[in-house]
Structure 1
């Protein structure tokens, strides 16, 4: 239900139904501020009928109520409330005016080219014809839509906001309606933000605003961070002597402040103490590690080397591997060889957490032969320094 509500909000935010008309002489306002009335302020007398007719031209479109939609497909449910013959959807995401109704066309001519209309479900519909559509209603100025694509199979009539604005029209979206404005000199409101048109898209750029905002701050801590944690003493000299254009005069710069991030980055880990204990007999503890892959393989194709070191004698064995997966078989060969040669059992094996030593086969082999395992902590190579 939550997902359906989310989809419904997204749809009702941009889909606005325009009944039979697109045309207006003014924009959204309350009656006492109507610019139609203000423009006639110098007229001594005007018929009441004519006044009401002018007022009705400041029309408002209707919004499909989300509460009436109970389908699992909110988008399709909204489209079901639209009369495909007489109603048009104002779509801010549509690049061209499109319609399926062939009876609406004026000045019809065949489409030259192989253009197709791509829908949101990734389906494509070929453009058959191009035409001009004039839509009007009582008490409204008619609006002429040029370059309307006739697309057979399309379910809705779509009006492109991009094409409307390209024809010197203004489109004003409100909380519950939308208005199409013509011959608009200015809007007497507080303009919060203005974007520019780039191709069929409307873009708002915040880069210049952000730079302007940050360049006006005089907080030394912010400039310290923006300049890569520059020392406060040097930052104070740059500001005082105006060595860098754009940095304002910084007030109350404390040169004895030490940045917390600087302290953390310059901190050092305590050294590891050298191990003082050592095993008393051979093969009580064996250190193992794997090196590779090497950039250049050996003459026989080996790219890995497995090192095994006895903790008591520090005697070292090296096994060469072509693949990491051979680690278990090489260790089995080593175990069999030392047991036959020295008559001793391997009691404990110390390694890192490499996948070649933590595989199910390797772990199961050690369990079956009573070999204890010692694994180092993550990113702590010093605990396995003998083989490393």
Structure 2
């Protein structure tokens, strides 16, 4: 019995055949007729499967009991529009592009294929190529499905009715370009851009919101420190307030953290790109970087944080069944808790721990929207007045000091 690596070419057989059932993958046990040998004896075809060696895959190889050789059918190659060329001591099988798929030698009266000698750095496909009309017909029938997925359907026999051909894209599909176009991804930098807090601040203005907040605000100014990913949120009634709020924030933060801000990174909107902001930044020596127009990926740090905050706030409002005008309180609470709970991938610490250089305490955290009671310490209480007022918890103070007990 020859090994599974050695195959012979036979011009008389109409199927690829083997007598080694153990080399067949995806085997299907199905009677498919009989094979007549040269001595006028017959042997049944008991099933079929695939032969795979490295990247070489031969589809639908018949299993014939008692067959002493592994046989490739020349006729089956030709039926797939492959070119089989035989010489005195060698042969080759090529596809329509002239690429050699199989190459072998002649031993006595047999042409031999050794799959171990076939190049395994590329996929050898014995399927004939679909015509351009067939390829684009099935591409459109399958709702403009990617050609790679179409070929996977064929190779995996996952559907019925799709011709067993190799489908290739020969030109651009204009409809796909219009309907599936997306922004090119911006890969993260392998090395960090900053080495200390406040070296680079990312800023973005989110809004306007359809519902005004409890304090009449419609916009969220989101500020993210590049080094620690610590986040600040400021709520505005209109875009015109941005310069004043931004300048006040820069002054306060630099004093509180005793560190200078070196670079701001924003988009090109007028709330950031105006004379008042530029004059202040120039006077204190802060550089201002702008992302390219219609390229929010360049300001992706704060864009992603916007989404995280809004999604968390939306979820909290939904869970608590509170009215939408409390969205600002929900965003503020989400920002507060995420600064103390999210983990920085590089440092394995929370943003609060990185920027304040101490471990945060979270044991006083409560569920947003839960029922709470506040001590009633008014002076005009009588003996039987309630000592606590009932309320709903909607956030944490940005100025009160938390004392750990």
Report the TM-score when normalising by structure 1.
0.33
- For the pair shown, the structure with the greater C-alpha radius of gyration is 1
Larger relative contact order (CA 8 Å, sep ≥ 6): 1
Report the TM-score when normalising by structure 2.
0.32
